[in-house]
Amino acid sequence: MRIIDRYQLKIYAVMLIALVNILPAYSANTYSNPYLDLGIFAFEESDHASAISHLKRAVLQQPNNALVYHYLAKTYQDMKRYKEARLYYDQACRIDPNLDDLLYDRGYFNFITEKYHDALDDFFQVVKQQPDNLMANYYAGICAFKTNEYQVALKYFLTSATQNSNVKEHCEYYAAVCYFQTGKPDQARNLFNKLTTHSQSETLKSNAKKWLDIFKNNPSIFRPYHLYVNLTMTYDDNIKLVPSDETVSDKDDLLIKTYLGGNYNIVQSPIFIIGLGYDHFQTNHVDFSDYNIVGSKGSLFLSYHNNNTEYSLSLSPQYLWLNNKAYMSLQGLSYDIKWQRNKYFKMLANFEYAVYNNVDNNDYDGQDINFDIGMERTFTENEKLSFISGFSILNKNTKGKDKKYQAGKFGCGLKYKNDQLKWFFGGNYSVKNYLYQDSTFLKRRNDKRVELFTMISLSGFTIEPECQIEHQINSSNIDQYDYKKTSISFSLRYFY
């Protein structure tokens, strides 16, 4: 062998030994796969086409090497080809979930693609193995915050704040919001005060001051009790005089409705509330004073918040008086579930059971079973605008057979909301089928009703105004029950 060839051979051997020493992180995982080495070099040089070509050849040689799939995922992620990246991240995790940096990289990938629940799971595993990993703690907090898991987020933000001074102020700001969201406004206020006086960021100072203004303008946040007064004036061109009767009067009138109420939280914690409530309301007619209604309603309520889901149970006895005479009692049970996937999507399911006892007409005595489910989808391009839809099913079982019916309703609408104004426009379509013949018309009644309504309200004032317009058209197979009606309401509300 020529001297120059021997010299070149020695140079290649030295380079190979140096390469193995320089790249210990993946020398153990390449399993002498030159295509994997070439793919990694190409990835680090941002030569994505070459990286994919080499890495796919590496897969053919070692189909069970998690590191190959890891770098394929990172390459596709850089190229913003997220579908392929997700497939390769998942494949790498199936083969070796303990591969260095794999869970962190997949967590960050899920974070940038807004899969916050999945990202939180990955960062949780990283923090479990590496409690001092600053960025894993920080991103875990952000993901928990974005999924409304404020108690979980708080833990990660407080940890991150003690690990690094560069992110301390941002973590304290998020921690303050989490304190507020978990029912600890005093701790939130203390952190916001600290940021307004010591923060080096003008943005953080400004945002903290906005929160302090909210606390200043809403002192009820720090109280276990709340009171409210609502006064409403309604002009209705086709009033319904008797609460339990579905028949309209073909008369117009001006109604003045007054509501007084409040509640007190006996037990109040970040995740659990037990409280008592009371409401008094009355409706006074200008022209038909014989049909004035007075109502009294008590409630015992329980609320439990777990991550992004809230469960509520309420027991509500209610009594009505018509023209100062006992008219009807109602015992109600309500169960709600609110689930928020993220800040753009949430759902509500409600189940209600009520027992009626009518003093003057036992035909209306009976039970209601009602189920509702609805959703709200906020537009990502305009977070102040939301689309709302839902449907409900009602089964009314009364002693009077001709009063029994089943009904279904579908509704949808648009809601716009900012700091000072809320506007809603929507409509409902409902179908009501009676189960027995009408005692007067000797045929089963079937109704279809369309409702259109709009509402606008202003907030940020001591007394908040609201205006609502509603129009109904009811079509029945019994002409006597056809009607149209329009009502216009103006309300003033005070909350303490």
Give the residue carrying structure tokens 């100072």. 205
User: Is residue 469 within 8 Å of residue 453, measured between CB atoms?
Assistant: yes
- Written as six digits, the tokens of 34 are 């030159």
**125 residue type, one letter:** Q
Rounded CA gap, 338 and 350, in Å?
A: 9
> What are the residue ranges spanned by the domains of the chain?
3-217, 224-495
Phi, psi for residue 391 in degrees, rounded to 5: -140, 160
User: Is residue 236 within 8 Å of residue 487, measured between CB atoms?
Assistant: yes
| Torsion of the alpha carbons at 101, 105, 111 and 113, rounded to the nearest 10 | -160
Rounded CA gap, 427 and 410, in Å?
A: 9
Half-sphere CA count of 424, side-chain side, radius 13 A? 19
User: Is residue 109 within 8 Å of residue 86, measured between CB atoms?
Assistant: yes
Rounded CA gap, 337 and 447, in Å?
A: 30
Mapped onto helix, strand or coil, the DSSP state of residue 6 is helix
Residues 6+ away with beta carbon under 8 Å from 39: 50, 51, 52, 53, 54, 55, 58, 68, 71, 72, 75
- Written as six digits, the tokens of 72 are 């394929």
Query: Which residue from 354, 371, 359 is spatially nearest to 407, judged by alpha carbons?
Result: 371
Residues of the chain with pLDDT under 70: 1-32, 270, 307
Mapped onto helix, strand or coil, the DSSP state of residue 60 is helix
Mapped onto helix, strand or coil, the DSSP state of residue 448 is strand
Query: Which residue from 477, 468, 418 is spatially nearest to 442, judged by alpha carbons?
Result: 477
Q: How far is CA 280 from CA 76, 135, 215, 295, 330, in A?
A: 62, 53, 28, 6, 14
User: Is residue 192 within 8 Å of residue 176, measured between CB atoms?
Assistant: yes
User: Is residue 34 within 8 Å of residue 40, measured between CB atoms?
Assistant: no
Mapped onto helix, strand or coil, the DSSP state of residue 266 is strand
- Written as six digits, the tokens of 419 are 């700091």
Rounded CA gap, 123 and 70, in Å?
A: 17
Same CATH topology for 3-217 and 224-495: the answer is no
Please report the DSSP string for 125-187 in residue order: HHHHH-TT-HHHHHHHHHHHHHTT-HHHHHHHHHHHHHH-TTTHHHHHHHHHHHHHHTT-HHH
Rounded CA gap, 364 and 361, in Å?
A: 6
Which pLDDT value is given to residue 232? 96
Which pLDDT value is given to residue 186? 84
Rounded CA gap, 308 and 123, in Å?
A: 18
User: Is residue 433 within 8 Å of residue 408, measured between CB atoms?
Assistant: no
Residues 6+ away with beta carbon under 8 Å from 475: 447, 448, 449, 482
CA angle 428, 431, 436 (to 5 degrees): 155
Q: How much of the chain exceeds pLDDT 70, in percent? A: 93
CATH number of 3-217: 1.25.40.10
CATH topology of domain 224-495: Porin (2.40.160)
User: Is residue 255 within 8 Å of residue 488, measured between CB atoms?
Assistant: no
User: What b/e string do you get for 219-236 counting C-beta neighbours within 10 Å, with b at 16 or more?
Assistant: eebeeeebeeebebebeb
CA 204 to chain centre: 25
